[in-house]
């Protein structure tokens, strides 16, 4: 493996693990303030719920309901399974389906654990939708961040033109942010629920991708610097002789 590739791979791994540590600390800080009903959090939540719901129109309500549906558990599961099925047909992405499953499934399990740990009641200010589970952190936000975050990571690796890479990244970010904003608009989450969900899922995603990058780097070194696709091509070439 070329030395510059080795250094770049290790930098990416270190960046992911550093990001995990920072995001984990930030989440703990937010969770402590939410758990203690810190006045600053209460003021922040009510201020931004008022601003977001103050823009209420029939069109925005329908849009928010659609975005919320896109971020629902059933739709996310279907999208995850479709993504995994697609990746299974890409020979050079042998282990990526497992990565998607760990990233999205782990985020979902973490959300269940955190909701039952904090048991925060949902806002009861101006409800435009019905939800009955606990509020913190937002499951829609965590699910969207995990799914579109891992999708952005895969597309960044698969797409070559930088312009298309950036477009895919921006699209994933906008969709994730829109789903979280829709939950505040519909009155079923505090803004701190959404922010906490993004940060918790971001920490999990950073840990997952960092671990995958580290494993991939070690595996390539064991294969003499070859990628999985190069190794398979070499095996096929040897078999045809």
For the chain, what percentages of helix, strand and coil (3-state, to nearest 5) are there? 80, 0, 20
* pLDDT grade for 100, boundaries at 50, 70 and 90: very high
**Of residues 240 and 190, more confidently modeled:** 190
Q: Are 103 and 204 spatial neighbours (Cβ–Cβ below 8 Å)? A: yes
Q: What is the pLDDT of residue 31?
A: 93
Residue 1 pLDDT more than 60? no
Residue 3 pLDDT more than 70? no
How do residues 157-206 score in pLDDT, each as one tens digit? Answer: 888 889 999 999 999 999 999 999 999 999 999 999 999 999 999 999 99
* Two tokens, residue 174: 């906008």
* Two tokens, residue 115: 């909701």
Residue 6 pLDDT more than 60? no
Q: What is the pLDDT of residue 2?
A: 46
The closest of 152, 145, 155, 153 to 202, measured between CA atoms, is: 145
């Amino acid at each position: 493996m070329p030395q510059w590739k080795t250094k770049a791979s290790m930098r990416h791994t270190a960046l992911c693990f550093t990001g995990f540590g920072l995001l984990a600390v930030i989440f703990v800080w937010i969770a402590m303030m939410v758990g203690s009903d810190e006045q600053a959090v209460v003021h922040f939540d009510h201020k931004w719920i008022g601003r977001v719901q103050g823009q209420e129109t029939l069109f925005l309500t329908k849009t928010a309901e659609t975005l919320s549906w896109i971020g629902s558990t059933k739709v996310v599961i279907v999208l995850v399974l479709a993504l995994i099925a697609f990746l299974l047909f890409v020979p050079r992405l042998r282990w990526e389906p497992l990565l998607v499953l760990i990233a999205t499934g782990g985020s979902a399990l973490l959300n269940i654990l955190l909701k039952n740990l904090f048991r925060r009641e949902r806002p009861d200010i101006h409800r435009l939708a019905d939800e009955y589970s606990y509020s913190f952190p937002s499951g829609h936000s965590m699910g969207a961040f995990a799914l579109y975050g891992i999708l952005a990571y895969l597309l960044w690796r698969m797409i070559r033109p930088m312009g298309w890479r950036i477009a895919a990244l921006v699209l994933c970010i906008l969709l994730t942010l829109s789903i979280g904003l829709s939950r505040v608009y519909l009155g079923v989450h505090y803004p701190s629920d959404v922010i906490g969900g993004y940060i918790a899922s971001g920490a999990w995603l950073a840990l997952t991708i960092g671990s995958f990058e580290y494993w991939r780097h070690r595996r390539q070194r064991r294969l003499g610097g070859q990628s999985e696709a190069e190794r398979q091509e070499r095996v096929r070439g040897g078999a045809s002789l």
